[in-house]
């Protein structure tokens, strides 16, 4: 977590953690799952491997996700939410609920 950051409001602090292009989507898929990198890539086909890796590293650095590397060949890496990361579940759920309503409004 950035300790030197000076936030001007709580929304800014929240978005500094989940505001990346794919971070909220990653969090959504990890709410009830532990996923491998390849599984996350399938959920985010528009993300390049480099971008997905960057977003995952940032979430890991912020203490939101846990990265488990297994010493096998080929390498196996799994991602899951930390206890701290699970505190974001209501926020991600609210984003999902709003998006669902927004999508329905667009159809009408």
CA distances (Å), origin 52, targets 7, 11, 28: 26, 24, 14
Question: From the CB of residue 80, how many other CB atoms can be counted at a distance below 10 Å?
Answer: 14
Task: Give the pLDDT confidence score for residue 108 in this predicted structure.
Answer: 73
Question: From the CB of residue 35, how many other CB atoms can be counted at a distance below 10 Å?
Answer: 17
Domain made up of 11-107: CATH architecture: Orthogonal Bundle (1.10)
**pLDDT digit string (tens) for the chain, length 108 residues:** 455 568 899 999 999 999 999 999 999 999 999 999 999 999 999 999 999 999 999 999 999 999 999 999 988 999 999 999 999 999 999 999 999 999 998 887
Task: Give the pLDDT confidence score for residue 107 in this predicted structure.
Answer: 84
* Counts for the chain of helices (H) and strands (E), in that order: 6, 3
**Tokens representing 105?**
């409004």
* Domain ranges within the chain, ordered by starting residue: 11-107
Going by C-alpha positions, the residue among 25, 68, 15, 18 that lies closest to residue 45 is: 25
């Amino acid at each position: 977590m950035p300790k030197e950051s000076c936030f001007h409001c709580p929304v800014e602090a929240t978005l500094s953690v989940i505001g990346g292009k794919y971070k909220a989507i990653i969090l959504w898929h990890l709410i009830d799952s532990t996923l491998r990198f390849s599984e996350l890539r399938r959920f985010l086909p528009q993300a390049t491997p480099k971008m997905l890796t960057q977003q995952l590293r940032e979430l890991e650095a912020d203490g939101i996700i846990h990265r488990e590397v297994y010493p096998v060949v080929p390498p196996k890496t799994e991602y899951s939410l930390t206890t701290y990361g699970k505190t974001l579940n209501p926020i991600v759920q609210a984003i999902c609920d709003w998006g669902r309503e927004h999508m329905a409004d667009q159809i009408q």
